[in-house]
């Protein structure tokens, strides 16, 4: 733990160790045994992981929370919508080049992120194991917004690629404006699992609905790296094209190592990763809402993490004994992996998964059902679809009767 010169503790900017080289491992050598199987039921070798739990990966949404704070200060609902759209887009950008698989959360696992400096706190819980469902709830410390949702990443293995459909609704409520926005995340695809360089693509249409005004913002993520996004407002019969949000500084990300060359008899071609455009053409009259930050210099040796991602698994001073015992910062396999100890990570991952299976068998024997702790199943009041609702109370820190999952 390194205090800076003036003795103030600073959040870390790097991981304790660089990543284990994946060059000697073939993801295909492993996946070909799994064709036709449901990917969530497959235990992948830990070398394909990144040292974060899926709960931490979805928390990356909060990297650009200042966009929501800014939206709250806007008096015009169209300006608010633009910032909410920028927020939704910013979450897509942090996924760029992130082909490491986050650890599957254990049932009952939690992750809390309290960021007083950014004025928000978040709690998430793994509420279902099969299918895997993660629920989260974030709130502004100044009570100006809540952001919540649940994600069920439905994975399909297509041979050459793995496709993830992040099912679930994102809901953002701006209290002062009495507004609620909802949307769903775009599709996500990891290319070249057989041969070539792994790369990640996100595509599809994201419709952000402002349920108070009826405004809709349609973000069209075009496949193949066309990151251009337009924001459209439908109102009566007029259609106004609003700003153009661009991803121009993506060229700052250097592509590194990880090639999975395989002899597949020449039958399969790698899907080319599109070239990244260096310059961005702005539609005249448009305004730039948000721009991606370059990845830190050592990112390529560290799972292509953003600066924000580097901080997520840090056990900060004063956290021990304060965060719940189910918090994934306390997971020994993830901790070992971030320290570069891949063998311990792998053994611990196996042990935890076996412990989870044993606990499930016990419950089955006693006819007990699993009960979630901080969230309950319910209905999203705006979309009417099924959702996971925050029960509340996590930050009262009464952790009695939490399951022993590690
Ligand atoms: C993207 C942002 C969305 C929520 C979401 C859901 C599914 C996630 C995806 C995000 C990121 C990429 C992801 C995917 C599930 C599996 C996939 C973590 C967070 C990994 C990279 C698949 C690795 C597969 C190996 C075979 C390479 O809001």
Amino acid 180: pLDDT? 98
Q: Which atom of ligand 1 is nearest to the CA of 102?
A: 18
Can you tell me which atom of ligand 1 is nearest the CA of 202?
1
- What are the pLDDT digits (tens) for 368-404? 999 999 999 999 999 999 999 999 999 999 999 899 9
Q: Are 53 and 332 in contact (CB under 8 A)?
A: no
More confident residue, 37 or 116: 116
The shares of helix, strand and coil residues in the chain, as percent rounded to the nearest 5, are 25, 30, 45
pLDDT the model gives residue 281? 57
- Start-to-end CA span in the chain (Å): 24
User: pLDDT tens digits, residue range 243-292?
Assistant: 444 443 333 322 222 222 223 333 557 777 766 555 555 666 666 777 77
In the reported structure, the alpha carbon of residue 12 is separated from the centroid of ligand 1 by a whole-number distance in angstroms of 24
Q: CA-CA distance, 367 to 361, in Å (whole number)? A: 10
pLDDT in tens, 294-313: 899 999 999 999 999 999 99
101 lines ligand 1 (CB under 6 A): yes
Pairwise CA distance, residues 257 & 255, whole Å: 7
The predicted model scores a pTM of 0.88
Residue whose Cα lies nearest atom 24 of ligand 1: it is 101
For the cut 60, the answer to whether the pLDDT of residue 225 exceeds it is: no
Q: Is 95 touching ligand 1 by the criterion CB < 6 Å? A: yes
- Cβ atoms of 388 and 310 within 8 Å: the answer is no
Give me the chain's average pLDDT, please.
84
Q: How far is the CA of 79 from the centre of ligand 1 (A)?
A: 30
Buried b (16+ CB within 10 A) or exposed e, 81-109: bbbbbbbbbbbbbbbbbbbbbbbbbbbbb
Atom 19, ligand 1: which residue's CA is nearest?
Answer: 58
Answer yes or no: are the C-beta atoms of 19 and 301 closer than 8 Å.
yes
Report the percentage of the chain scoring pLDDT > 90. 60
Instruction: Give me the percent of the chain exceeding a pLDDT of 70.
Output: 82
Query: What is the C-alpha to C-alpha distance for residues 241 and 84, in angstroms, rounded to an integer?
Result: 16
**Radius of gyration of the chain, Cα coordinates, nearest whole angstrom:** 21
Long-range CB pairs of 294-297, under 8 A, 24+ apart, other chains included: 294/249, 294/252, 294/253, 295/97, 295/252, 295/253, 296/13, 296/14
Which one has a higher pLDDT value, 35 or 61?
Answer: 61
User: In the prediction, which pLDDT does 285 show?
Assistant: 63
- Which ligand 1 atom is the nearest neighbour of the CA of 100? 21
The answer to whether the beta carbons of residues 388 and 378 sit under 8 Å apart is yes
Query: What pLDDT shows up at residue 3?
Result: 60
- Hey, whose CA ends up nearest to atom 28 of ligand 1? 185
> Between 197 and 35, where is the model more confident?
197
Q: Is 153 in the pocket of ligand 1 (CB under 6 A)?
A: yes
What is d(CA 100, CA 53) in angstroms, rounded to the nearest whole number? 11
Q: What is the pLDDT of residues 114-168, one digit of tens each?
A: 999 999 999 999 999 999 999 999 999 999 999 999 999 998 888 788 899 999 9
Q: How far is CA 22 from the centre of its chain?
A: 22
Residue-level pLDDT at 2: 56
Can you tell me which atom of ligand 1 is nearest the CA of 58? 19
* pLDDT on residue 236: 34
Are β-strands 229-235 and 120-128 bridged in parallel, bridged antiparallel, or unpaired?
A: unpaired
Confidence check: pLDDT of 357 > 80: yes
Residue nearest to atom 14 of ligand 1 (CA): 164
The pLDDT assigned to 218 comes to 86
- Going by C-alpha positions, the residue among 93, 148, 97, 118 that lies closest to residue 289 is 93
pLDDT for residue 86: 86
Determine the distance separating the centroid of ligand 1 and the alpha carbon of 30, expressed in angstroms: 18
Q: Is the pLDDT of residue 36 over 90?
A: no
Residue 191 in contact with ligand 1 by CB distance below 6 A: no
189 within 8 A of 164, measured Cβ to Cβ: yes
The dihedral built from the CA positions of residue 351, 22, 274 and 38, taken in this order, carries a sign that is negative
Ligand 1 atom closest to Cα of residue 185:
28
Give the model's pLDDT for residue 347: 96
The predicted structure's pLDDT at residue 89: 83
Question: In angstroms, what is the span from residue 164 Cα to ligand 1's centroid?
Answer: 6
| Closest C-alpha residue for ligand 1 atom 12 | 188
Q: For residue range 79-101, list pLDDT tens digits in order.
A: 899 899 889 988 888 888 899 99
Question: Given this model, what pLDDT does residue 322 score?
Answer: 96
Q: State whether the beta carbon of 93 lies less than 6 angstroms from ligand 1.
A: no
Token pair for 397 = 């820190």
């Amino acid at each position: 733990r390194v205090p800076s010169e003036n003795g103030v503790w600073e959040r870390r900017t790097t991981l304790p160790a660089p990543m284990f080289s994946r060059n000697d491992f073939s993801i295909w050598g492993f996946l070909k045994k799994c064709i036709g199987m449901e990917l969530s039921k497959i235990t992948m070798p830990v070398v394909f992981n990144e040292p974060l739990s899926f709960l931490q990966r979805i928390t990356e949404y909060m990297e650009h929370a200042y966009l929501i704070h800014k939206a709250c200060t806007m008096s015009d609902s169209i300006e608010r919508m633009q910032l909410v759209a920028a927020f939704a887009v910013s979450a897509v950008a942090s996924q760029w080049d992130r082909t490491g698989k986050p650890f599957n959360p254990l049932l009952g696992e939690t992750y809390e992120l309290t960021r007083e400096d950014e004025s928000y706190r978040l709690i998430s819980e793994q509420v279902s194991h099969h299918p895997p469902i993660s629920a989260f709830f974030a709130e502004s410390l100044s009570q100006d917004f809540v952001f919540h949702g649940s994600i069920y990443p439905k994975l399909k293995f297509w041979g050459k690629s793995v496709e993830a459909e992040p099912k679930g609704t994102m809901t953002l409520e701006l209290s002062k404006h009495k507004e609620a926005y909802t949307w769903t995340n775009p599709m996500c695809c990891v290319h070249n699992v057989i041969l070539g360089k792994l790369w990640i693509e996100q595509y599809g249409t994201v419709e952000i609905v402002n349920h108070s005004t009826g405004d809709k913002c349609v973000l069209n993520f075009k496949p193949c790296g066309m990151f251009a996004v337009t924001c459209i407002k439908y109102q009566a019969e007029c259609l106004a094209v609003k700003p153009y949000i661009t991803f121009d500084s993506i060229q700052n990300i250097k592509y590194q190592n990880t090639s999975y060359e395989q002899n597949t008899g020449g039958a399969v071609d790698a899907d080319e990763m599109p070239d990244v455009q260096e310059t961005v053409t702005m539609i005249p009259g448009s305004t730039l809402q948000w721009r991606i930050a370059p990845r830190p210099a050592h990112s390529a040796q560290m799972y292509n993490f953003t600066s924000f991602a580097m901080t997520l698994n840090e056990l900060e001073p004063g956290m021990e004994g304060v965060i719940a015992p189910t918090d994934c910062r306390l997971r020994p396999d993830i901790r070992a992996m971030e320290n570069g100890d891949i063998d311990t990570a792998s053994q611990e991952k196996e042990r935890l998964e076996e412990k989870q299976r044993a606990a499930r068998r016990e419950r089955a024997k006693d006819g007990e059902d699993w009960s979630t702790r901080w969230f309950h199943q319910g209905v999203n009041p705006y979309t009417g679809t099924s959702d996971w609702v925050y029960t509340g109370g996590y930050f009262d820190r009464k952790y009695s009767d939490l399951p022993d999952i590690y």
